[in-house]
Amino acid sequence: MPIEFEAPKPITQAQFMLKTVSEEMIRPKSRYFDEHEHEIPWDFIEFMQMAMKATGGSSLAPRENGSNSEEKERRPPIAYQLIATQIESVAWGDLGFYHCLPGGALGAAAIHAAGTPEQKEKFLGRFKDEKPTFAAMCITESGAGSDNSAIRTRAVLDEKTNEWVINGEKIFVTGGDKSFSEYEKLGKGFIVVWATIDPSAGRKGLRAFVVESGTPGVRVVKLEHKLGIRCSDTAAISLVDARIPFENILGSPTVEKTTTGFKGAMATFDATRPLVAASGLGVARAALEFLKEKLTEQGVQIRYGLPRQKLTSIERDVIDMDIMLKSAWLMVIKATWMADNKKPNGLEASMSKVKGGDVCVKITQKVVEILGPLGYSREFLAEKWMRDARITDIYEGTGQINRLVVARQILGYSGSELR
Amino acid sequence: MYSFDPTEEQQMLIDAVSKYAVNDLRPAAHDAEESRDLPKKLVSKGWELGLLQASIPETYGGFGERSAVTGVLALEEMAFGDLACTLAVLTPSLYAMPILLAGNEEQKQEYLPKIIEGNWSAYTAALIEYAFDFDPNTLKTVATLQGDEYVINGEKAFVPFAKEADAILVFANLDGPTQGFIIHKDAIGVTLSNEREKLMSLNSLPLYRVKLENVKVPSANRLGGTAGHDFEPILASMRIANAAAAVGVANAAFEYSKNYAKEREAFGVKIAQKQAIAFMLAEMRTEIEAIRLLTWEAAWKLDQGKQDAFSEAYLASTGATDMAMMVTDRAVQILGGHGYIREHPVEMWMRNGRGFATFTGLAIV
């Protein structure tokens, strides 16, 4: 297909539908859940569960491309592009609410990327059940953030019972509470825990393990109080002699000489980085649109088309923000389009995250600045969006880690050549 | 649907232009810039790639149809070689494209075949004016209707090949809107500057100041005839071209500084292995990609006749201005002292880079 920028129909339909959801269900509650951290927006969760079932999407995860109906053959795949759009649209409503969308999130994404067909069947089917169900990814530890090789959580195989015994403590688990704690209104979730099966092997020893909710020895020990995205729970989870079945390991149970197992699981991030960027850009769009509304109310026109020398400072800022937002969004679309078309997109995925993280932070901060007291006041959401957006440049690889990934790709360097 | 793959035909064109840019333009760029002289052969070879010819339909002597997307792809690639020579090769487009986009049937029949039938010949256009607040939509050069002809007064700047050109498409303010007028060089009242313009870059491109004093233009020579024309599609095409050229130059600076950083050693490692350098390169590559996609989208919207194509073109060109400055400036920084020396091309690209704030009107797709 030639170069084209026409949003496919399913995408424009999703945008239309989710705009209504955002306006009717999310925005009115946005401030409440910002001020009542750790309360769970049950109404929204239950509504979205119903709505997603009704429209056939079980969660915001791409459907398996297993079925080869002729319909699918003829139409170019757009699953990831569609998800990016959906995420952007919900995050436009509220970024914290986006994290409360029922589904497997990063936990399921890891299984998508590294699971066997049996594992996919066993762990992913539940997201189609009646009750809203969550899953989460546990990587970060107090001493290991972007540097996964510093992970200390240990998994040891008990050969007598053929179970993995896991010990360690994970922090910053997005959705960890909803995924692991047992709530009556929720289906049975799970967390995907990263642990080493051989501490001397460094990264080569890292594996991911599926830990079902309610597993004895595993506890949510803390819910963090955060700068923003407050209705998304961020948990610390401790694992003490937690026993899980042998077959819950993702990837090979033995340590090989290569890091292919690790890389397979890291492929999760090639798929999800543009989606994180998309979520941040939703917030940025919300902020920029709000600014434009307020300026219009005040009779301030943005004179597009004038040379810069003739623009006011506000006009320059708004136009620059338009450029940032539009171009960053196109990078998300390109990265997801590559994923949909099975083109290797490691570079584009990380670039979209670098740009998306930058852009949503810059735009939301600038909007608060331009709006002055209106921006800083909690009467409006601009200040909240600035706090919410800030996480985008941090989670799933900080802007700096993504720059490193981009740099390695463009320079053709390995991790040891460019540290 | 979204798609980012050029067609097979476009890819062939990209490859051909790329070959010309890398094998012909790049090796000649330095000497051309220093000597203020552009080898004619170089220009004709670029002309033979047939970019303009392929944009003009058969009815008017060409062999294709106009596509802003294709134009962008080619321009990006050619500007990667050398900006000044690229602008020279494409100067006839400045005259031909507005006629194709906005001319009436007689004008297209009369002018287009002549421009593209043979070798490169100097047809040009004059948009830019010598004022800090130059605005293509409110020109200071004025056209007034007197009887059945127009009288034009004002001064145009940065007019490529004005001295050689037989005809110039002059843009002037006609009671507000910008309108194009085809003016023959020997028309009474047209005076060229004796000296070529001296700019921060584009030394090899012959640019002139053109003074117009009571120049009389028959109404048949108004672009679009007596009814005139819409200037916006022309301006949008110029802005998109400006953005595409900026992407090409930025890419050149990025690639060059990247390769340098992989060669140059300091403290026992290649400097590219230092995060301070590597991160700069990562950000350069990211910004180029961002503006490149914005430019592609603007071009696609223009081809599709989308309502927001004009504002998108404005955004692309404005964004490209910052991007090109940022990327070329960093390329100089990565080369350090060597970046400041004219033996390396990065300082020239940086001088080019600042120009995109001013160059709208020097290229069109």
Mutation target to probe the A interface, by most A beta carbons within 10 A, among B4, B70, B359 is: B4
Shared domain check, B132 and B108: no
The verdict on B116 and B24 lying in the same domain is: yes
Last residue of a domain, one of B212, B227, B242: B227
Band the pLDDT of A68: cuts 50, 70, 90.
Answer: very low
d(CA B95, CA B100): 9
Contact B2 A337 (CB under 8 A): yes
Chain A residues touching residue B3 (CB < 8 angstroms)? 1-4, 76, 337
- On whether the CB atoms of residues A105 and A137 are closer than 8 A, the answer is yes
Q: Measure the CA–CA gap between B140 and B147, rounded to whole angstroms.
A: 22
How many domains is chain B partitioned into structurally? 3
Contact check, Cβ <8 Å, B278/A418: yes
Residues B82 and B167 occupy one common structural domain: no
Q: What are residue A308's phi and psi, to 5 degrees?
A: -55, -35
Q: Give B165-186 pLDDT, tens digit per residue.
A: 989 999 999 999 999 999 998 8
- CB pairs A-B closer than 8 Å: 147
Q: Is residue B2 part of a domain?
A: no
Residue numbers in B near A325 (CB within 8 A): none
Determine the residue type at A99: H
Ramachandran quadrant class, B342 (left: phi over 0; alpha: psi -120 to 50; beta: rest): alpha
Chain B 122-141, residues with CB within 8 Å of chain A CB atoms: 132-135, 137
**What is residue A110's predicted lDDT score, i.e. its pLDDT?**
87
Closest-approach residue (CA) in chain A for B11: A2
Could you tell me the pLDDT band of residue A56, with boundaries at 50, 70 and 90? Answer: low
B301·A5 Cβ contact <8 A: yes
CATH of the domain at B37: 1.10.540.10
Which of A100, A103, A82, A86 has its CA nearest to residue A282?
A86
Query: Are B140 and B90 found together in one domain?
Result: no
Q: Give the active site residues of A.
A: 396
CA of A278: how far to CAs of A274, A330, A344, A352, A407, in Å? 6, 10, 19, 9, 22
- Average pLDDT (A170-187) is 96
pLDDT digits (tens, 9 = 90+) for B301-351: 999 999 999 999 999 999 999 999 999 999 999 999 999 999 999 999 999
Q: In whole angstroms, how far apart are CA A202 and each of A150, A198, A206, A380?
A: 8, 7, 7, 48
Contact B327, B253 (CB under 8 A): yes
Residue A307, chain B, CB below 8 Å: the answer is yes
The nearest alpha carbon in chain B to A413 belongs to B273
Whether residue B168 lies inside any domain: the answer is: yes
Distance from the Cα of A336 to chain B's closest Cα (Å) equals 10
* Domain match, B44 and B32 both: yes
Assess contact for B214 and B187: CB atoms under 8 A. no
Please determine, for residue A396, whether its predicted confidence score (pLDDT) is greater than 90.
no
Residues B64, B102 within the same domain: yes
Model confidence at B208: pLDDT above 90: yes
**A residues 378..417 contacting B (CB < 8 A):** 400, 403-404, 406-408, 410-411, 413, 417
B360 within domain boundaries: no
What is the pLDDT, as a whole number, of residue A271? Answer: 79
- The parent domain of residue B74 ranges over 8-120
Q: How far apart are CA A380 and CA A390, in angstroms?
A: 18
Least Cα distance to B342 among B26, B28, B33 occurs for B33
Measured in angstroms, the CA of A82 and the nearest CA of chain B are apart by 11
pLDDT at A66 over 90: no
- Model pLDDT for residues B13-35, shown as the tens digit of each residue: 999 999 999 999 999 999 999 99
- φ and ψ at residue A287, rounded to 5 degrees: -65, -45
Instruction: Please indicate, yes or no, if residue B28 is contained in any of the structural domains.
Output: yes
Across the interface, whether the CB atoms of B290 and A330 are under 8 A apart is answered: yes
The answer, yes or no, to whether residue B264 has pLDDT greater than 50, is yes
Quick check: B257 and B331 in contact, CB under 8 A?
Answer: yes
What are B68-112's pLDDT values in tens digits? 999 999 999 999 999 999 999 999 999 999 999 999 999 999 999
A308 touches chain B (CB under 8 A): yes
Q: Name the residue among B209, B280, B291 with its Cα closest to residue A334.
A: B291
Answer yes or no: do B2 and A326 touch at CB < 8 A. no
- The confidence band for A357, taking pLDDT boundaries of 50, 70 and 90, is very high
Please list every residue in chain B whose beta carbon sits closer than 8 Å to the beta carbon of residue A6: 1-2, 304
Is B362 a domain residue? Answer: no
The answer to whether the Cβ–Cβ distance between A413 and B135 falls below 8 Å is no
- Is the CB of A337 less than 8 angstroms away from the CB of B294? no
| Interatomic CA distance for residues B4 and A128, integer angstroms | 34
Q: Which of B227, B254, B271 is the last residue of a domain?
A: B227
B314–A76 CB contact, under 8 Å: no
Chain B residues touching A344 at Cβ < 8 A:
none
Q: What is the mean pLDDT of residues A292-312?
A: 96
Residues B139 and B110 in one domain: no
Q: Phi/psi zone of residue B122: left (φ > 0), alpha (ψ -120 to 50 degrees), beta? A: beta
Q: Do B300 and A4 touch (CB under 8 A)?
A: yes
Q: Please tell me whether residues B239 and B326 are part of one structural domain.
A: yes
- Taking the C-alpha atoms of residue A61 and residue B25, their distance in angstroms, rounded to an integer, is 48
| pLDDT tens-digit map of A211-263 | 999 999 999 999 999 999 999 999 999 999 999 999 999 988 887 655 665 66
Q: Please name the member of A310, A319, A407 whose beta carbon is closest to the beta carbon of B315.
A: A319
CB-CB neighbors (< 8 A) of B296 in chain A: 3, 5
Enumerate residues 54 to 113 of chain B having a beta carbon within 8 A of any beta carbon in chain A.
69
In a domain, B55, yes or no: yes
Output the six-digit token pair for B75.
């321009």
How far does the CA of residue B313 sit from the closest CA of chain A (Å)? 9
B69, B175: one domain: no
Of B3, B283, B315, the CB nearest to A4: B3
- Reported as a single tens digit per residue, the pLDDT across B214-244 is 999 999 999 999 999 999 999 999 999 999 9
Q: What domains does chain A contain, in order, with CATH numbers? A: 9-123 (1.10.540.10), 131-257 (2.40.110.10), 261-411 (1.20.140.10)
Q: How far is CA B70 from the centre of its chain?
A: 14
d(CA B12, CA B18): 10
Residues B142 and B107 in one domain: no
Percent of chain A having pLDDT more than 70?
92
Q: Which residues contact A21 (CB under 8 A, 6 or more apart)?
A: A47, A48, A51, A90, A93
CA-based nearest distance B217→chain A, Å: 29
The reported pLDDT for the residue numbered A260 is: 60
In this prediction the ipTM stands at: 0.96
Higher pLDDT, residue A145 or A357: A357
Do B70 and B174 share a structural domain? no
Angle of CA points A264, A265, A269, to nearest 5°? 105
Regarding whether B284 and B202 lie in a shared domain, the answer is no
Instruction: Name the band, by pLDDT with cuts 50, 70 and 90, for residue A147.
Output: confident
Round to whole Å and give the CA distance between A241 and A156. Answer: 10
pLDDT score, position A258? 59
Is B250 inside any structural domain? yes
| Mean predicted lDDT score pLDDT of chain A | 92
**B364 found inside a domain:** no
**Where are the extended beta strands (E) located within chain B?**
2-3, 123-126, 142-146, 149-160, 167-173, 178-184, 190-192, 207-218, 265-266, 269-270
Chain A positions in Cβ-Cβ contact with residue B310 (cut-off 8 Å): 305
Which pair of structure tokens corresponds to residue A53? Answer: 């079932």
Could you give the CA distance from residue B238 to residue B97 in angstroms, rounded to a whole number?
10
The pLDDT confidence band at residue A114, using thresholds 50, 70 and 90, is confident
Please list, in sequence order, all residues whose beta carbon lies within 8 angstroms of the beta carbon of residue A108, skipping any fewer than 6 positions away: A59, A61, A123, A124, A127, A135
Nearest to B282 among A309, A348, A406 (CB): A406
CATH number of the domain that residue B285 is part of: 1.20.140.10
Which pLDDT band holds residue B261 (cuts at 50, 70, 90)? Answer: very high
Q: What is the CATH number of the domain that holds B154?
A: 2.40.110.10
Q: Which residues of B touch A338 (CB under 8 A)?
A: 4
pLDDT tens string B144-165? 999 999 999 999 999 999 999 9
**Domain end: B84, B105, B120, which one?**
B120
φ/ψ of residue B56, rounded to 5: -105, 130
